Each structure stands twice: as structure tokens, then as C-alpha cells.
Structure 1
Amino acid sequence: MAAPPREEASLTDHARATLATQESARDRGLVRSVGTWGLAFAIVNGVVGAGIFSLPSAMARAAGAQAPLAYVACALAMAAVVVCFAEASSRVPTSGGSYGYVEAAFGPLAGFVAGVLLWLSSVLACGGIAAAFADGVAALAPVAHDPPVRAGLIAAVIGGLAWVNVRGASPAARFITVATVVKLVPLLIFVCVGLIAMPGLPAQAGTPPPPEGFGRAVILALFAFCGMETPLGASGEVATPQRTIPRALFAAMAFVAILYILVQLVAQGLLGPRLPAAATPLADGIALVSPTVGIVLLVGATLSRLAWIASDLFGAPRVLFAFARDRLLPSPLAALHPATHTPHVAIIVHAALAILLAVTGTFEGLAILSTLATAALYVFSCAAAWRLARRGVALFGAPLGLRALPVAAVAGMASMVALILFARWAEIAGLAIVIAGSAAFFRFYTGVLRRRGG
């Protein structure tokens, strides 16, 4: 029998104490008040976006009746990534989430690149979702098509949700919990009413259009599963994080997987061969049972976007805050509100950039880059979890210590690399430019600080 691989040397007590001091300094002044369910709802909200209201059609076009199996395959791939995130977050539960894991495992340069990927994907997505929200309102109230009205609506929505986050992490988590429940109600109504009504509807005869490919459906499903990393940016404000974060992750992602599979099954049962061509599949399907419920689903799609923005503003600005605390960005971004102890400057800056992206509409051309950035971030995070475990890093009590971590890390990295390789070469080149540019900025900025004696 071959000898087991030699474990990487654990950190010395001095090195572990130094690392703990560095991570604690990043979270100094923050209030750890977010509990398991508050974080779990934030994760569900960050993952279940408005896309689920239209995704069943795209899934049916890609894989036909096998679309639910594509969700299962995607859920298995994401389970590996979730295991890595749970392990890493139990060891380094700090502001910035993935940025903190990667920085503790591989050093400041790799951490900065991971943080840029996390923040960039978040701010681009926030701008795009806000633009989609304005378009949804305009469909109901045509006056919102007017550019000044549209810009004012976007600024009011993002600005208002930023204000909620500035008021405190705990109030923001409570707001997100309520918003997520409001968003999930239409989806749960769709599933429950659809399951009850399906047996009484005429049999759906016929064959769907030829599928474009099961692999493409898995990629589409994987896009829908992304988002857990953004709420984890607020890990520095989570109570008992070594237990709370893993529990919230596992509960949230298990719920999401079950919800997605049920939504797809009900949509296929209600619309049958008409599903691939449906522009609003959930609303169209449930309208066969009740037109009134169909309207509820349309309103639910709009509220879903609103809730998603709230979740983004909860987690993503903490990455800028963490960068500034680590002296990788200007110090004002590290400021805390004197009354609420939230990183209010970072929240305001993130919100302002998201407003600019939404108003100018520049997000659409960068949507794929945002998703690819998330996939690259997952590769970094899986590798970081494995390395942190091998080095015995544990900064906040006993970590999970999952035995299956090596297998999960390899599976997670392989699945994310495969996703990236499915993109066009120009899109892959764009991702490479972002990574190289982030590394160059890090070298330049830290070099300037050294020359100044900072």
C-alpha cells in the first residue's frame, strides 16, 4: 500500500497568533450580531435572484425534459464548493469572506485578486439587477421609461437600501429576512398550487424542441446557483461564526437546490412542450390555473430584484472595507459609522458605483465576465479551504474539520475550471486581464506605500 501523502506543516503558535491578530484587526469595531437564520436568509436571497422566474424556459430549451437532472448535476458540483466555503469560513470568519480565506491561505497578493473578483462580480450584478428592476417598473408604469425618472428610481432604490445597511448589520439582516420571505412567497405559491393543479389539467402531449445540450443546461443552472459569496462578505459581523456560517450555508444551499428542482418540475408539468417558448414561464404556467396568481408571479419577479439588491449591499461593500483595513485601498473606506458601527463609507461608494452602472446600462455587456469572475473566485476559495485545513489554521474556536474536504476541493476546482473553459476565448481573455490587472495594481499600490514608509 502506498504511503499517505505527507501533510503540510501546521502553523507554529507564533504564526497562528500573528495571523489571528491580523484578521482581528480587520474586524475591529464591528458588532457580531448576525445569527444563523439572518445569514441563511441573506444567502438564499443572494442566490435566488429574479432569474428563476424565467430560467425554466432556458433550461427546457437546453435539456428538454432532462432539465431537472441538470439541476441535480449542478447541485452536486456546487455542493463541493459549499463544503469548501463552510470549512474555510469556520477557520477564517472575517470581513470580506472569500478575500479573507484566500489571503490567510496564500498571502496578500492572492487575497487581493480574490477580493477584486468578489467585489467586481457583485457591483456589476448589482447594477444590472437595478437596471432590470427599473425596466420591470417601466413595464407597469411607462413613465419610468423617461431617463430622468428611471435614473431617479434607480438612485432611490439603491440609496434607500444602502441607508438600511448603514443603520446596522442586524437591522439590515432583519430587512433581508423579511424581503426574502416576500420574494419566496410567490415561488412557493407556484410550487404548491402547481403540484395540486397538475393532476387535473389536460395531459401535456407532444415533444419539446430538440435540446441544445445537457451540458449547457448545467452551465445555466450553475449561473443560478452563484451568489452565496456576497453575503459572506459580512462574516466579520456574524455571531459565533465558526458554527453559524457553516450552518447557514448548508441550510440555505440545500433549500435553494430543492426549490429550483421543484420549480422546474412544476413548470414542465404545467406548460409541457410550450415551456421552451414561454417568455414568463412561471406566470404563464400558473395562469392556466388562476390568472390572478399569474399577476402575483409577475409582481414577485420585481420584488425579487429589490430583495437581491438589499442582499448585495449587505455583503459586497465589506470587501472594500476589508481592503482598506488591510491598507490596500484608501483609508476612508475603512471608516465606521460612529453610532451604528457599520462601514458606511464603503457602503455608500459601492452603492454609488452600482447606481452609475445601472443608469448607464453598461452592465449588460459585462454580465458573462461577472459570472466568470465568480467561477474563478470559487477556484481560489476551494484551494484556500484545502490549504487552511492542511496548515491547521483556526482563528475562532474549533473548525469543522471535514474529512471529505480534499475530495470536495478537487471536485469544486475542476467543475469551476470546466465552466470557465465553456466561455468564449474573448471572455476568458477578459477574465485574465482582470486578474492580471488586479495583481499589477497590488504591486504598484503596495510599492507606493513602502516608498512612503507606510
Structure 2
Amino acid sequence: MALKDEGLKRRIGVLGLSANIINIIIGAGIFALPAIIASKMGATSIFAYLFCGLLIALVMLCFAEAGSRVNNTGGPYTYIETAFGDYAGFLGGVFVIVSALFADAAVSNALIDMLATTYPIFENNGMRLAFLFVILSGLALLNVIGLKQGIGLVKFNTVAKLIPLLLLITLGWKGVSIENLQFDSYPSLKTLGETSLILFFAFQGAETGLIVGGEIINPKRNVPRGIFISIVTVVGIYMLIQGVSQGVLGEDLPNFTAAPLAETAKAIFGSFGFTLLFLGAMISMFGYLSGSILNNPRVLYALSRDRVIPIKKLSRIHLSFTTPYISIIVYAALCFIIAASGSFKQLAVIASGSMLIIYFLVSLAVIRLRFKQKRHPAEFRIPGGLLVPLLSMGIILYFLYHLSKNEMIGTLIFIAALSLIFMVIKYFKTGQ
């Protein structure tokens, strides 16, 4: 049973929540995304953004209703645990942590790799480890000191990463050729589906921004508003970026998979444009990490708070800073270990599959919570009855169906192992 948060303070408003979600979604992927999508759909890529934006909006509507009903810290874990109990909550919480840790490790290494292209000293293993330690420990310290400082950095990073993108969007149209945006036929449903599957992963992140539910002011109002603002903003920015990149580089866009936006800016503004977008990519990666270190340790805190995992110290709140300081330190340490080892690549597929499972469980939780809890007037309720949750579940099953056989087997083995661990933990808890 999810317990009430004790010691955490509600300090995040709708703008802070929106910035938190946007900061997480617009990570490193957008700086390589246009080339990948253009290679599959060319000038018709815009339809994939519209289609994927619609799909993620359906999923996030489920998060909005669940978030207005269950407003403790823990995000998707708390929604699942409240709806289905400890076992489902345990699986959901571990899936959230696993996905987040491996994603953070990947972004950390991508940040260093980008630095190494300009400063070869970062190719040295000792320098890489030192840089990882400084970045992750620094972000951990900042978030231990206080939520206000952590969310302040998130707001700053959100603005800083959007500035170069917005400059490219607003000033880049002067280099756009209308011919590069024209198309003679529409994409097939198969092509649209395959491309949208890639984009679906690029839109992930809103669920991470909701983990701080126990620290959001008036969550019944601000959670739906924050999700709406962030999703509309992200879809709009993604579509405009794709349009500018396609319009400027045309058929050459798929050739610049490493840094398509930097190459687009270079074609428009020269070397200054390349440098601006290069820095923008680095800020975006750093911003992603800052948001992750702010949000994801709260899942460890929530798992400990609800006694789903038998480590009570993870739910301790700092007396002076009112933050879950031990969870933050432990999460940052785990991230450092995985990033330093580089072994995260072997489990990246499981991490991706686990996020789809989380989305499915949250959509299912909305249906369960409607029957389990009495409705309060202040709660947000998705219009259309069960249509949106059922559509979300159907879409997610479609994506899971397209995982490879090895990916499916790996995910099932992972679930079986977690189930065994849960049974062992429960046995020792009942035996005490």
C-alpha cells in the first residue's frame, strides 16, 4: 500500500512541472532524430510526428488521470502500486529504475564522446571516469541541497537547450527550399508505423517528470495542465525542426546521422551555427541528466517508503534540506558504475521494453482506479469513458508485438527473475 509522503514539501507549480517534462523529453535524441526519420520517410516525415504525437498524447492522458488520483511521490510506480498492489508496484518500480539508469548511462557516455570529438583528452579512460564522477556527483549534491535548486537548474537547462533550437527554427527558414518539402505520395501504413515506433522512444520522458508528484502544488489541476503544455510544445518543436532540416538539406539530410541539426545550422549560419548547435546538444544532454537526477531517485525513495524493498534508509528525508538524500546519492552512484563499465549496451533493449510495459500498466491502472476509488470533484477524468485507456493499451501491445524474439525472451526472463526476488523479499518480511 502506498503511504503518504512525510517531510517532502510541495513547491513545484505548473510551469516548473512543464519545464521538468520538456527538459526530460527533449534530450540528446532530437539532435540526431531528423536524419533517421528522413531516411525512412523523406519529406513525408511530418506525418510520423503527427501520428506519434497523437499516440503519446493518449498515453499521457492516462498519466494525467492517474496523476490526479494518486499524487504521492513515485510517479508511474505509485500509480501501479496503488491500483494493483505490492507485486505490480515492485515490477513497475524496478522497470522505471532500470530504464532510467541505462538511459542515463548512455547519455553520460554520449556527452563524453561528443566532447572527445573536439577535445581528444576525453578519450583517455582516466579523464572519462573523472568527468563522469564530477558531473554525476555534482548533480547529486545539488539535488540533495534542495528541490528548489534542482528544479531551478532544470528550468535553466530547459531554456538553454531550447534557445539554439528556437533560433534554428525561427531564423533557419531563410535557407529552406520549398522543393525539399514537397512530396508526390503519402507514406504506407507500414512505413508510418515503423517510423512512429522510433519516434515513440524519442517522445518518452513525461512519466519521469511526474515522479515528483508528492512535491507538486495542487496536482489535481497542475498535472493535466503540465502534461498538455509539455506535449504540445514538444510536438510543435519536433515538427518545426524536421521541417527546417528537411527544407535546408533536402535529400542530403540522411547522410548526416551524427549531427544533422549542427549540419543544418552550418549550411545556414556557417561555422558559428555549427558551434551553436554543438553546444546546444551538449546542454541538452546535461539537461537530461540534471532532470533525471532530480526525478528518478524519488522512485527509490517511494519503493523504500512503501516497504516494497527492504532498505529503510532509502526513504530517509534530510532534516535541513527536506530531500530524499540517500536515494539521490545511491541513484547517482549506480548511474556512475553502469556508465563507467559501459556494459549498459547489452541491457538497453530490456530497458526500452520495460518502459513500454510501464506505459501499459499505467493505462490499465486508470481503469482499475476508476472502479477502486470514489471519484472526487477536483480529479481530472479523461473524457470518452474507457476509450483512451483501451486505445493506449492497444497501441502499446502493437509496439511490443514488433519486438524481436530475443528481445521478448529477454524481457520475460527479466520479469521472472524479478518475480523470484519479490517472493524472497516477501518471505523474509512475513517471517519477521
The TM-score normalised by the length of structure 2 is: 0.94
Asked if structure 1 preserves the Cα contact closer than 8 Å seen for 2:62 and 2:382, the reply is no
Other-structure match for 1:388? 369
Other-structure match for 2:327? 346
1:155 is aligned to 2:133:
yes
Pick which of 341-350 and 211-220 moved more. 211-220
1:379 is aligned to 2:379:
no
Give, in whole Å, the separation in 1 of the partners of 2:289 and 2:216: 20
Other-structure match for 1:34? 12
Mapping 1:90-109, distance limit 5 Å:
90-109=68-87
Mapping 1:106-125, distance limit 5 Å:
106-125=84-103
Residue-by-residue CA offset, 1:169-189 (whole Å, 9 max, x unaligned) = 122111100011101111111
Mapping 1:287-306, distance limit 5 Å:
287-291=266-270, 292-306=272-286
3-state SS of the aligned residue for 1:285?
helix
Mapping 1:47-446, distance limit 5 Å:
47-198=25-176, 203-204=179-180, 213-279=191-257, 280-291=259-270, 292-329=272-309, 330-393=311-374, 398-446=378-426
Other-structure match for 1:5? none
Give, in whole Å, the separation in 1 of the partners of 2:385 and 2:106: 35
3-state SS of the aligned residue for 1:349?
helix
Asked if structure 2 preserves the Cα contact closer than 8 Å seen for 1:95 and 1:235, the reply is yes
3-state SS of the aligned residue for 2:422?
helix
Q: Paired residues, what number?
A: 426
1:282 Cα deviation after fit: 0.9
Give, in whole Å, the separation in 2 of the partners of 1:101 and 1:202: 47
Give, in whole Å, the separation in 2 of the partners of 1:79 and 1:441: 34
Aligned sequence identity (%): 32
3-state SS of the aligned residue for 2:88?
helix
Give, in whole Å, the separation in 1 of the partners of 2:372 and 2:357: 23
In structure 2, the CA distance between the partners of 1:324 and 1:202, relative to structure 1 (3 Å rule), is closer
Give, in whole Å, the separation in 2 of the partners of 1:245 and 1:393: 19
Residue-by-residue CA offset, 1:391-440 (whole Å, 9 max, x unaligned) = 33568x72112222511101111111111121111111122222222222
1:39 Cα deviation after fit: 1.1
Give, in whole Å, the separation in 1 of the partners of 2:318 and 2:40: 48
Asked if structure 2 preserves the Cα contact closer than 8 Å seen for 1:124 and 1:366, the reply is yes
In structure 2, the CA distance between the partners of 1:202 and 1:223, relative to structure 1 (3 Å rule), is closer
Give, in whole Å, the separation in 2 of the partners of 1:304 and 1:426: 32
Asked if structure 2 preserves the Cα contact closer than 8 Å seen for 1:91 and 1:393, the reply is no
Give, in whole Å, the separation in 2 of the partners of 1:372 and 1:165: 29
3-state SS of the aligned residue for 2:265?
helix
Residue-by-residue CA offset, 1:292-334 (whole Å, 9 max, x unaligned) = 1121001111111100001111111111101111112211111
1:43 Cα deviation after fit: 0.5
Unaligned runs of 5+ in 1: 1-18
1:388 Cα deviation after fit: 0.9
Unaligned runs of 5+ in 2: none
* Equivalent AA in structure 1 for residue 264 of structure 2: G
Give, in whole Å, the separation in 2 of the partners of 1:233 and 1:400: 18
The TM-score normalised by the length of structure 1 is: 0.90
Residue-by-residue CA offset, 1:310-362 (whole Å, 9 max, x unaligned) = 11111111111011111122111111112111111111111011111111112
1:90 Cα deviation after fit: 0.2
Give, in whole Å, the separation in 2 of the partners of 1:343 and 1:23: 15
Q: CA RMSD in A?
A: 2.0
